[in-house]
Structure 1
Amino acid sequence: MKNRVRLSASFALLALALSFADAYDPSTLQDICVAVKEPDNALFVNGKFCKNPVLTTANDFLFSGLQVPRSTANPLGSTATAVSVDQLPGLNTLGISMARIDYGIGGLNPPHFHPRGSEIFFVLEGTLYVGFVTSNQLNHTFFEKVLHPGDAFVFPFGMIHFQLNVGKTNAVAIASLSSQNPGITWVANALFSAKPPISPEVLAKGFQVDEKLVETLQKKFWYYN
């Protein structure tokens, strides 16, 4: 009887261990896995085909142009230049990416979250007001800070966050993320410009506002920076 109990306990622990193992991306078993679009002589790994390592060159690991300011002449007054696996194939399977964000005066990187990565945010120029909101686990606590050049701030995995230029000059920041393809969901865009549209009744009740206001918001042009 004792042996059966021990055996059952062992299987339970093994199942628990396997469930944890399945919750994370597997570790890479090769040095490099440069992403390619065509599957010829390639292996499909983590959503991308891998180039034959023998055919890899230094250019597969190079992205140029982050030193160039981007125009912020848009409704948000900000522009993000992403460097994820889609722009830099050598990032494939490495679990990292980055972005440059330019802000005009008063420019906003609106409330959004990354479904697949945490972010560390570093200010190069200007003054930025930033913040993020936790989940219901901490009663949607809001953490905010004004950042200056040289300051770094962390946006935890999956938390809604934003940045607003509150200075008198343009601002520039670099974001580093813990995923090769962290993704981004802009809160307002996702809710009010979904295709097909979300029922106004659902949004009206969810936000406790009039349906006509929701319909007005759904008719607006929602910009993606």
Structure 2
Amino acid sequence: MKMALGFLTAILITCFAPVAYASDPSPLQDFCVAVNDSVAAVFVNGKICKNPNMVVANDFFFSGLNMPGNTSNPLGSRVTTVNVNQLPGLNTLGISLVRIDYASYGLNPPHTHPRATEILVVLEGTLYVGFVTSNPADPNQKNKLFAKYLNPGDAFVFPEGLIHFQFNVGHKNAIAFAGLSSQNPGVITIANAVFGSDPPINQAVLTKAFQVEKKVIDYLEAQFRWNIV
């Protein structure tokens, strides 16, 4: 009986453990306003709490999301981020926010958020958005694309960790807002990470991975020696 109970307990722990660790840890107090990393005495997985007696309303305040981002870059898009680094009061609360501005035919390129699911809402313009599934178990199948055209008021969800994108298909500027399920979702821009890393990835790896000649890799690396903000 004890063995059966222990086995059942182990099964329950196994089933619920992924759920417990699927997002940022739950807070154990009303708030934990983040201390700036530059003045923190130690490094932790997250941020150190500010003394609650020194917390003020501005620790929970961010201004400026009414201002358009500068889209004069090669992609024609700009992400204005509001995570724990910009808004210390988000610490331990498991959420963050971005505003995304798109010039005509601007692109928020294929990228992933390793620590967050994202829900995006279009405010202005028409966007073509989508995400690609992870590698299927069957090697004969391909990664599946889920994509839609979104108009003002439409929303779309990008599951945690999956590659996704947004493209402004209109002649006018577009604006979207997105909520993410982490105080610090992180972002990996695929092309910039692969072709613009420092130091560069060995070209033998890239030529074999993409099945192209070295001159193609040389060209691609030359395009990604700039930072996407």
What is the TM-score when the length of structure 2 is the normalising length?
A: 0.87
- 2:4 & 2:131 partners in 1: Cα distance? 46
> Does residue 142 in structure 1 map to residue 140 in structure 2?
no
1:103 alignment partner AA: Y
- 1:223 & 1:180 partners in 2: Cα distance? 22
> Does residue 64 in structure 1 map to residue 63 in structure 2?
yes
**Contact 2:124–2:152 under 8 Å retained in 1:** yes
Query: Residue 206 of structure 1: which of 183, 206, 209 is its match?
Result: 209
- 1:142 & 1:222 partners in 2: Cα distance? 28
- 1:111 & 1:47 partners in 2: Cα distance? 26
Give CA-to-partner distance per residue, 1:41-94, whole Å, 9 cap, x none: xx9764211101121111000000000112211111111100000000000000
Distance 1:93 1:46, change over 3 A: farther
Give CA-to-partner distance per residue, 1:89-118, whole Å, 9 cap, x none: 000000000100011111110110100000
> Does residue 183 in structure 1 map to residue 186 in structure 2?
yes
> Does residue 224 in structure 1 map to residue 223 in structure 2?
no
Distance 1:9 1:136, change over 3 A: same
Distance 1:13 1:168, change over 3 A: closer
Number of residues of Structure 1 aligned to a counterpart in Structure 2: 221
Distance 1:113 1:21, change over 3 A: closer
In the alignment, what sits opposite 1:30?
A: 29
Any idea what SS the aligned residue of 2:217 has? Answer: helix
In the alignment, what sits opposite 1:192?
A: 195
* Identity over aligned pairs, percent: 57
Give CA-to-partner distance per residue, 1:14-61, whole Å, 9 cap, x none: 874795587454321111000012348xx9764211101121111000
For the aligned residue pairs, the C-alpha RMSD in angstroms reads 2.3
Range 129-138 or range 189-198, more displaced: 129-138
**Structure 1, unpaired ranges of 5+:** none
Bigger Rg over Cα: 1
Deviation at 1:156, TM superposition (A): 0.7
Query: Residue 163 of structure 1: which of 152, 161, 166 is its match?
Result: 166
Distance 1:22 1:102, change over 3 A: closer
In the alignment, what sits opposite 2:111?
A: 112
**Contact 1:44–1:50 under 8 Å retained in 2:** no
Any idea what SS the aligned residue of 1:48 has? Answer: coil
Give CA-to-partner distance per residue, 1:148-201, whole Å, 9 cap, x none: 111101111111111111111100000110000000000001100111111111
- 1:72 & 1:197 partners in 2: Cα distance? 27
2:228 alignment partner AA: Y
Any idea what SS the aligned residue of 1:189 has? Answer: helix
